[in-house]
Amino acid sequence: MPLFDLEGSSTSQNRKTSVTRVSKSASTLPVALLSANENRVGATIFNRSSSILYLDFAEQLSPEDFAVEVPPGGYFETPFSPVTGMWGRWRSSNGKALIRDFVEV
């Protein structure tokens, strides 16, 4: 079974989504970037900072224990539809994250 269907499926073609735009200030402490949402179909995060952004699906994250590292000026797109929350923490607190949360309506 292919991982991606170029023709699309009838389910995905009929799905309606909305997007929420959020900006979160950088912090060296964990920041909730996305709240849990079982209707989420995807999310993007742009690191508008000169500092590394560490991402995880739990609040207990550190520069030594994280799921994704987003470099300064980097972009992350969820490869699946996480229904859990997502947390972020920067190496130093300058800049912000620009977040787009896509949910099924």
14-44 pLDDT, tens digit each: 779 999 999 999 999 999 999 999 999 999 9
What's the pLDDT score for residue 80?
84
Those residues with Cβ within 8 angstroms of residue 32's Cβ, 6 or more apart along the chain or in another chain? 59, 85, 86, 87
Distance separating alpha carbons of residues 59 and 66, to the nearest angstrom: 10
Write out the chain's pLDDT in tens, 105 residues: 444 444 554 455 677 999 999 999 999 999 999 999 999 999 999 999 999 999 999 999 999 999 999 999 999 999 888 889 999 999 999 999 999 999 999
Rounded Cα gap, residues 14 and 1, in angstroms:
22
Tell me the domains of the chain and their CATH numbers: 16-104 (2.60.120.770)
Chain mean position to CA 83: 11
**Tell me, what's the pLDDT at 75?**
98
Question: In angstroms, rounded to a whole number, what is the distance separating the alpha carbons of residues 39 and 99?
Answer: 16
**What is the model's pTM?**
0.83
